[in-house]
Chains A and B, each alone.
Chain A
Amino acid sequence: MPIPSDEGWIDRFVDRLPETRLFKLVASWILVPLWARLTPVKPLPGGPHPSFQHGDNVQCMMNLIMPLKDKSPVGRALAALAIAQNKEAIFAGLNNVGTVHFARFVIVGDNICMFSVYDGDFTNYIRDFIATIGSVFNAVVELVEGGEEVIPCEDNVEAFIQWVHERDLYQVPDTATDFLRDQEALNGDRAVSPVNDDLTLLPRKLVLQLRANPNVSLGSGYRAYPGFSVAQVRKHLGVGW
C-alpha cells in the first residue's frame, strides 16, 4: 500500500522532470554546455592522489588509456600484434621493475589500454619501466596518438612520464569532500581556503568534471590484501622477490 504523501502536483512534476526525455535533452545539449562555458573546469590529473600513508602507497592503480592513431579494425589488430610480439619482453621487464602486482593490456573501442597495479611512486615506476623495457614499449607507443613526440622514450624520460601521467585516468576519490579538494587543488594559488565544500553543488561539479574527464576510475577499488607490497606477498609465498 503506497505511503500517503502531502506533495502537491507541482512537487511531483518537478521531481519527475529529470526523468523526462525533453528535460534530459535540454540538460545535455544546452544546460551542461552553458554551465561549462560559465564555469570552465580543467581536466583533473590521473593517478592516485598523493598520500604519505604507507597503505596508500602500495597497490596503486594505473589505468592508461592510449587512443590509437588508426581507428579501424586494422589499427586495433596492429595494436594487438604489437603487444603479442613483445609480450614476453614486456612481462620480463615488468618482473624486473619489481614493484608491479598485475599488468594487462586491453583494447577498448579505439584505445589500447594498460591497466596495472604497482607499489610506490608513479614516476619511479614509469622510469624503471622505461629503463627496463623502454626500447620494446616504443613499438606500442608509436601506434598511439601523440606517441611520436615521446619516442624513443629512453631519450625522452621526463616527457614520456608526463605523457603517461596525462593518459592515466583520474581516480575519483571515495569521498565527496576529497573530490572537491582535487578540484580546488587545480586552482593552485587561486584555491579557496578552506576548501570550498558546498556539497549542494556536488552533482553539478561532478557533471562538469565528467565532461572534462570523460573516462575516470571510480574510487580506490577493492583489495583482497590491502597494505602489502608485491615483494611482501612474494616473500610470504616463497616465490622469490
Chain B
Amino acid sequence: MSAMFDLAELQGNILRGYTKKPHVRYLILEVADRSAARRWLASSVSGRGDGVPQITTGDWGPNKPDTCFNIGLTYEGLRALGTPSASLEMFPNEFVEGMTARALKLGDVGPSAPENWPAPFNEPKRIHLIATIYAEKVEQLNEVQERALYDREALTLLGTREGYNFPGDFVHFGYRDNITQPRFEEIHDPDRYPDRQPRAPLGTVLLGHPTNLEGLTWRVPLPAELGHNGTFNAFRVLKQDVAGFEEYLDRAASDLLKHPQVDELLQPGDEEKIGKGLSRRAALREIVAANLCGRWRDGTPLALSADAPDPKADLTDFDYVGVGDSRCPHGAHIRRCNPRGGQIVQRIANNSRRLVRRGVPYGPPYDPAKRDRDEPEPERGLLGNFIGASLGAQFEAMSCDWLNLGLQDPRITGSNDPISGANDPVTSWFDLPLKSGGTIRLRGLPRFVLTRGGAYTFLPSLSAIRFLGSL
C-alpha cells in the first residue's frame, strides 16, 4: 500500500484483510449506559494498551499487531450514544431503516426473512455495536473479548458469532477464496496489483471522496469528523447448504449425461483436463460448479480459461469486455455481482457497485464421508462483511437488480443468482453455455444460502470514534 493520505485515520479492516489472523469473533453489543459507552469508545482510541482493546487502524507502523479489533455502529447505536439529531438526519435512509426493513430488496424472504432470524438478530433495535476481533488463536479472542466487556456498565453482550478461515483459502462450497478486492486510487500501486478493472476511486469505500459515478458524491454526515472517511458495512450471517449444493451438482451431472448435447459441453476424453482421474459424471459436476460461480473451484476465472482449470491463469487480471456467454455465463455468480467492463443494461453502472468483501466461514467444513443422513447437518456458512460508501448505491443495488432480478442482461432477467440468490426450485433456472452458441437450461435450483442475521453498520473513522467518545 502506498497511501497518499493518513491510513491511521481509517479502521484497519476497511483496506486490510487480516488474512494472517484466521480466527474471527463478532461481539453483538447493546449500549447499557450512554456515558459509560462513550467512555468505552474514547478508551478504544486512547493509545493505552491496558484497558479497552485499541481500535486497529490502517497504519500498522513497523510492528504488526498480534490481534486486531474493529467496530461498527448501527443507527440505533448512534442514537443510543446520543449523537446529535442534526447529524443523525444526515445518514442515508437505508442505514436509518436498518437491514431488516430492507429485506425485500436483499432477497431476505421466506426462510431468510428477518422474522426467522435467531437471537440476537431477532431484536434488531437492540443491536447497537458490532465489535470484531481477529486473532491467530482462540485464546487471544477470549482475552480481547474479556477486555472489551470488562466495563459491564458500558456494553451488554447480546450474542457472538465466530468463524475460522480454513487452511488453503477455500470456503464452504469448495471454491478458492481471498482472491481479489477492489484496488483504490491513492492507495494501491497499479504495478504491484495487476487488475484489468480500473482502480476504484476512494469514494467507493470512503465518505467524502469522489465516487465512480462521475460528478456524484454521497452525503457526508456532519460534523466532518463524524462522517468523513467513514463507511458502511452490511454484516450478514449467511448459512450455506453445502450438502444440498453437492447433491444438486450430482443431480445436474446425471441429467447432463442423458442430454443429447452433452458432448458439446465436455468432449469425450476431455475428463482428465477437468481433474485428474475424474469420471465423466464427476467432470460434469465440476463444469456445472464452475459455471454457477464463474470460476473453477481452484479460482481460475472462466473468462480466461473456459474449458478447464488453469493453474497458470491470473486470478484477477481479466475482464468481461467481449467475453461472450460461451466463455463465462452472464448469470454466473461472480459476473452477476461484478460485471466488470462487460456490456450491461445500466450502461453507467459498470464498476460503480463494487464492494470490499471480508468474509470468514463458520461451522465445520463439509465432509461427505462423515455425513450421517439421519442427523441434521451442523450449521455452517459465511460471516460476511460487504463494505462500501453507499449501501444503497452499491450493496442494495447489486442485491436487488443484479443478484435477484438479473436486470443487467436480458438473457438472465427473471432469474436469481444461482449460488446466493433466493431461488425457488419450481421456477429457478440457469443457462449453461455451449460453444455452438446454444445453451442447456438447468432447472430446479434450490436456495443454497439462507440469511440468518445481519445488520447495517457505520464504520467510523478514528476521528469519529473520538468525536462520539467526547459527546
B-side contacts of A50, CB under 8 Å: 104-105
Most B CB contacts (10 A, CB to CB) among A54, A99, A124, A154 go to: A124
For residue B391, give the distance in angstroms from its CB to the closest CB of chain A.
11
Q: Which residues of A contact B213 (CB under 8 A)?
A: 127, 131
CA distance A96 to B214 in the complex (A): 14
Interface residues in A122-142 (C-beta closer than 8 Å to B): 123-124, 127-128, 130-132, 134-135
Contact: A229 with B422, CB < 8 Å?
no
State whether the Cβ of B219 lies closer than 8 Å to any Cβ in chain A: yes
Within the assembled complex, what's the spacing in Å between the Cα atoms of A121 and B396?
A: 9
A156 to B219, CA, bound (A): 7
Please state if A158 and B410 are interface contacts (CB–CB under 8 Å): no
Residue of B nearest to A124 (CB): B397
The closest CB in chain A to the CB of B107 belongs to A52
Contact B409 A131 (CB under 8 A): no
B392: interface (CB < 8 Å): yes
Whether A120 contacts B400 by the Cβ 8 Å rule is yes
Contact indicator B215/A52 (Cβ below 8 Å)? no
Q: Is the CB of B346 within 8 A of A124?
A: yes
Interface residues of B in 240-290 (CB under 8 A from A): none
Q: Mark B409-431, 1 if CB is under 8 A from A, else 0.
A: 11101100000001000000000
- B80 at interface (Cβ–Cβ under 8 A)? no
Instruction: Establish whether residues A231 and B215, one from each chain, have CB atoms under 8 Å apart when the complex forms.
Output: no
Per-position contact with A for B342-371: 1 when CB-CB < 8 Å, else 0? 001111110000000000000000000000
Residue B407, interface by CB 8 Å? yes
CB B400 to nearest CB in A, in angstroms, measures 5
Out of A128, A154, A234, which one reaches B349, CB within 8 Å?
A128
Give the size of the chain A interface in residues (CB under 8 angstroms).
37
**A229–B344 alpha-carbon span in the complex (Å):** 13
In Å, the complex CA distance between A232 and B349 comes to 18
Instruction: List the A side residues contacting B109 at CB < 8 Å.
Output: 52
The minimal Cβ–Cβ distance linking B207 to chain A, given in whole angstroms, is: 12
Q: Look across to chain A and name the residue whose beta carbon is closest to the beta carbon of B102.
A: A50
* B409 in contact with A121 (CB, 8 Å): no
- Chain A: minimal CB distance from B219 (Å): 5
Q: Are A128 and B345 in contact (CB under 8 A)?
A: no
B345 touches A162 (CB 8 A): no
B401–A120 CB distance below 8 A: yes
Partner of A58, one of B219, B348, B392, B413: B413
Decide if A229 touches B407 in the complex (CB within 8 Å): yes
Q: Is the CB of A121 within 8 A of B401?
A: yes
Do B410 and A235 touch (CB < 8 A)?
yes
Give a binary string over B90-130; 1 marks a CB under 8 Å from any A CB, 0 the rest.
Answer: 00110000000000110101000000000000000000000
- Give how many B residues have a beta carbon under 8 Å from the other chain's beta carbons: 34
Q: Are A232 and B219 in contact (CB under 8 A)?
A: no
Q: Which of B293-348 contact A (CB under 8 A)?
A: 344-348
Chain B residue at minimum C-beta to C-beta distance from A135:
B215
B399 to chain A, nearest CB (A): 9
B422 touches A52 (CB 8 A): yes
Residue pair A121, B92 in contact (C-beta under 8 Å): no
Decide: B422 and A132 in contact? CB cutoff 8 A: no
A51, A123, A134: which contacts B215 (Cβ < 8 A)?
A134
- Using Cβ atoms and an 8 Å threshold, which residues of chain A touch B404? 52
**B405 x A57 contact (CB < 8 A):** yes
- Select which of B217, B218, B346, B396 is within 8 A of A128 by beta carbon: B346
In the assembled complex, the Cα of A101 lies from the Cα of B345 at a distance in Å of 12
Cβ-based interface call for B224 (8 A) = no
- Measured in the bound complex, the distance between the Cα atoms of B345 and A227 in whole Å is 16
Please tell me if the beta carbons of A154 and B216 are within 8 angstroms of each other in the complex. yes
Encode contact with A along B37-70: 1 for CB under 8 Å, 0 otherwise. 0000000000000000000000000000000000
Q: Is the pair A231, B216 in contact by a Cβ cutoff of 8 Å?
A: no
B401:A158 contact, CB within 8 angstroms: no
Q: Within the complex, what minimum Cβ distance (angstroms) separates A125 from chain B?
A: 9
Are A232 and B216 in contact, with the CB atoms below 8 A?
A: no
Does B393 interact with chain A (Cβ within 8 Å)?
A: yes
In the A-B complex, list the 9 residue pairs whose CB atoms are closest, starting with the nearest.
A231-B410, A131-B213, A232-B410, A98-B345, A120-B401, A235-B410, A231-B345, A50-B104, A121-B400
Can you list 26 A-B contacts (CB < 8 A)? A51-B104, A54-B405, A54-B414, A58-B407, A58-B413, A96-B348, A97-B346, A98-B344, A98-B345, A98-B346, A121-B400, A123-B396, A124-B346, A131-B213, A131-B215, A132-B348, A134-B216, A157-B216, A158-B93, A158-B392, A230-B345, A231-B409, A231-B410, A232-B413, A234-B410, A241-B345
